[in-house]
Amino acid sequence: MVARANSLLPFQETVAALTSAKSLLDAGVGSDLQRFSVLHGLCASSYFAGKMEDAFALARQIVEFADRQVDPTFKLVAYRLLGTTQVLTGRSREALESLQSAERYRDPDR
């Protein structure tokens, strides 16, 4: 049991760091890329922890953020992430729509 608890420590530390970073971003410190990266990290952490509804909620926040950005890369990644979480939470029809949205922002030359 001790070995398992110790193996989770880096994961827990990462989530704690991302949560602290989000608090700073929410207070107005940081850039758009930092906000996107922190939200993406929190979403991935929830995903890997099997907390799919949390991951889904964070993916929706990422899409809301990405939709306010000019750079299509934000939108591509956000909609792909949302589609993935929708598939894994049984929202297949919505997942298809999100993944089709992601495809619209894909630029193979970029």
Rg (CA), the chain: 15
pLDDT at residue 9, rounded to an integer: 72
Q: How far apart are CA 62 and CA 43, in angstroms?
A: 9
* Structure confidence at residue 5 (pLDDT): 53
Give yes or no for residue 2 having a pLDDT over 90: no
2-104 — its CATH code?
1.25.40.10
Global pTM value: 0.85
When pLDDT is cut at 50, 70 and 90, the band that residue 4 belongs to is: low
At 14-70, the pLDDT tens digits run 999 999 999 999 999 999 999 999 999 999 999 999 999 999 999 999 999 999 999
CA distance 27 to 24: 5
Domain spans of the chain, in order of start? 2-104
Measured over the CA atoms of residue 6, residue 12, residue 17 and residue 23, the dihedral's sign is: negative
How does pLDDT run across 75-93, given as a tens digit for each residue? 999 999 999 999 999 999 9
